[in-house]
Chain A
Amino acid sequence: MRRRTWQRRGASLLLPGLLAGCSGVQSILAPAGTDAAFLSNLFWVMLAGAVVLWFFMNGLMVYVWRVNVGHMSSRKAEALIIGGGIVFPTVVIGVLLSVALNAMPDMRAEGTGTRLKVTGEQWWWRVEYWPEGAEAPIVSANEIVLPANSRSEIGLTADKVIHSFWVPALGGKTDMFPGRETRMSLEPLKPGTYRGQCTEFCGESHAWMAFNTVVLPQDEYDAWLDAQAEPAAAPASESAERGQAVFLSEGCGACHAVRGTAAAGKVGPDLTHLGARTSLAAGTLPMTQDALVRWVRDAKAVKPGAEMPAYDHLTEDELSDLAAYLEGLT
């Protein structure tokens, strides 16, 4: 009896957790794009087929072992084995294969709208937008913005080790290799924010290498991209002004770019519009002043192995001024 209670309690604890995985911002079961919808349908069809097959096979075993024991002619048995063991699976797998193969060209179709290039770094994402006819990209990082109802072309590569790019709510995953460019395209359908994650183990902070994908209606997207192309906003408060002076005097510009200032480093993420992003440190922290202070003071304490050095020699005032400046970079 005791054991039964434990089992029931275990199940009641486990079930909400399992079900939570089915919805939300990072689930293949809550599709928000053409490719994800297809993959999700494929999953449900295969699951239903698997359930039917499971009952059928178990029913067959019960029939042979319990109901019709020793009463089968060899002719009938051969027909069952050949029919059920060879013909039936071949047909089922053949159908699934042809459906999937048929869908693949669409999923790999070249994007006709926005062109992006995403590079997997240790452990963040370098993002470049290449508008039609542009000579130089609009550089951003750790967040991807896509227009709804348009197929975007995404070029993928990596800096030092293999990463993998996956936004489950929008489509399948594609690996990113150093020195080689792979590609994919995505067609989001519903505006919203969807979480993406590196899905190839890439080192200490692999689990902290995520990003948000923000899907906007086309006109909002166009306005957003125009704003991204602009240089950074000037500091709006005295604290932010002091923060900018800290930023420019402490060598931050060696690795980070803030367009419109002398800071033009390319080693780390571009911060020109950092404050407009929905998350900090590649999906690790919320975009708040407290999180910015925590991150700048000691990045490795948040994200093991991060290449951002600790700025724990700055005073609390300097850190909060700096955070005010960075948060204001919208």
Chain B
Amino acid sequence: MKRPDLDPETVAWTLGGLAVAGAIVGAAVVFLGLYNVSAKVGHFPGVGSVLHTTFRNSVDLRAMSVDDVPELTDEMAALGAKHFDAACADCHSAPGRGRTATMRAMSPLPPHITQAVGHWNPAELHWIVREGVKMSGMPHWPADRDEEVWPVVAFLTRVQEGMDGAAYTEMTGMEKTAARDFAYCTSCHGERGATDNPHIPRLDILSRAYMTEALSAYRRGARDSGIMEHAATEVTPAALAEYAERFAGFAPEGGSVNGADGDLVARGRALSRAEDSTRVPACAACHGPWPDQLDEAFPSLAGQNQSYLGQQLTLWRDGQRGGGRVRELMHLAAEELTDADIEALAAYYASLAPATLNETAEAE
């Protein structure tokens, strides 16, 4: 068996051709935008683990010797904790706290600090905090001062030792820097749970039971909303129930809307009663106006913002609306709605005087 001779000229042309083809493909990726930078899509399979291995080995190679680590005192850890709370907790959360929906949507996903500290030794932690990590969003230390990094490392070693939420709060001296207060809710939903902004639903008409369930669904990711999932994960579950109660305590104000499109409202009213409809169930049987006492698990719609109602009904109809324990009822109820039905129903319920579920009444 004799190997075929390799003609140097053919080899050169082949290599040259491949190089040109590669350059064209590379240029297309860069200049035509062929590479998808979406954080949602993520990396190709395997790329993530290659990058992570590279990161670990790079840190191993470059970190100083453990022998050069100074003594990490409690005073240093106390300072480090305060700085961590101000600068780092926005992405890594903190001991005893959860991560917001937005943190969980980052790519690469910043690990919760209790996981991020891993088994790194103090020298390696120092290197990571000082240098940052390219292409991961992890910033480097903003100043060129090595010794300033040690307090943070001191804090991180305490996290490795299993610091809990209470110890963290005590150390930072900041009770609820991450958990937001009621003013956070009212900044969008209004001082008394009502707002003129058509994109923001009014809450004064809703019951405590319904809002607690809705907030818990947002928190669990069972109801889809980038805005409300973030908001609900910034607040503790206990506080969510408290805020729901406060909003439910406001008496709805305002009268029925005059000057609304009369025909549209009349059509919505007929639909809400399912008068002669074998297609759409009667909305009023759960949402009022209804002569008997209704289950507070159902939301009141009376006087709710029209565009919000239309948007939510469309989400229900299209099967994209999550919610609490009775959501299947609404999925089935909305299944057969047309765009015109949705428009009419939103106009009708928006035209009613704002009221809680069992106070909902027809316009005078």
Q: Which residues of A contact B (CB under 8 A)?
A: 126, 159, 245, 248-255, 261-267, 307, 309-310, 313
Chain B residues numbered 105-153 whose CB sits less than 8 Å from any CB in chain A: none
Contact B283 A262 (CB under 8 A): no
Contact A254 B293 (CB under 8 A): no
Q: Which residues of B contact A (CB under 8 A)?
A: 273-274, 276-286, 290-295, 298, 325-326, 328-329, 332-333
CB nearest to B290 among chain A residues: A262
Q: Please measure, in the bound complex, the distance between the C-alpha atom of A159 and the C-alpha atom of B278, giving whole angstroms.
A: 9
Main SS at interface, chain A: loop
Q: Please measure, in the bound complex, the distance between the C-alpha atom of A253 and the C-alpha atom of B285, giving whole angstroms.
A: 6
5 A-B residue pairs with CB within 8 Å: A248-B290, A248-B292, A250-B295, A251-B294, A251-B295
Q: Please measure, in the bound complex, the distance between the C-alpha atom of A65 and the C-alpha atom of B188, giving whole angstroms.
A: 99
Main SS at interface, chain B: loop
Contact B294 A265 (CB under 8 A): no
Contact B293 A264 (CB under 8 A): no
B residues in contact with A309, CB < 8 Å: 328-329, 332
A residues in contact with B280, CB < 8 Å: 267
Leading 7 A-B pairs by shortest Cβ distance = A254-B285, A254-B281, A251-B286, A248-B292, A253-B285, A254-B282, A313-B325
Of A159, A252, A262, A310, the most chain B CB neighbours within 10 A belong to: A262
Contact B277 A267 (CB under 8 A): yes
A residues in contact with B284, CB < 8 Å: 254
Q: Please measure, in the bound complex, the distance between the C-alpha atom of A256 and the C-alpha atom of B290, giving whole angstroms.
A: 15
A residues in contact with B294, CB < 8 Å: 249, 251
Q: Choose one: B276, B285, B291, B292; the contact of A245 (CB below 8 Å).
A: B292
* Least Cβ–Cβ distance between A44 and chain B, in angstroms: 43
Contact A265 B292 (CB under 8 A): no
Contact A267 B295 (CB under 8 A): no
* Least Cβ–Cβ distance between A173 and chain B, in angstroms: 24
* Least Cβ–Cβ distance between A130 and chain B, in angstroms: 16
* Least Cβ–Cβ distance between B264 and chain A, in angstroms: 22
Q: Choose one: A249, A250, A266; the contact of B274 (CB below 8 Å).
A: A266
A residues in contact with B329, CB < 8 Å: 251, 309
* Least Cβ–Cβ distance between A7 and chain B, in angstroms: 53
Contact B290 A267 (CB under 8 A): no
A residues in contact with B295, CB < 8 Å: 249-251
Q: A251-B281, A254-B333, A267-B277 are known contacts; what are 19 more A-B pairs with Cβ within 8 Å? A: A159-B278, A249-B292, A249-B295, A251-B285, A251-B294, A253-B282, A253-B285, A254-B274, A254-B282, A254-B283, A254-B285, A254-B286, A262-B291, A264-B274, A265-B285, A267-B274, A267-B279, A310-B328, A313-B325
CB nearest to B291 among chain A residues: A262
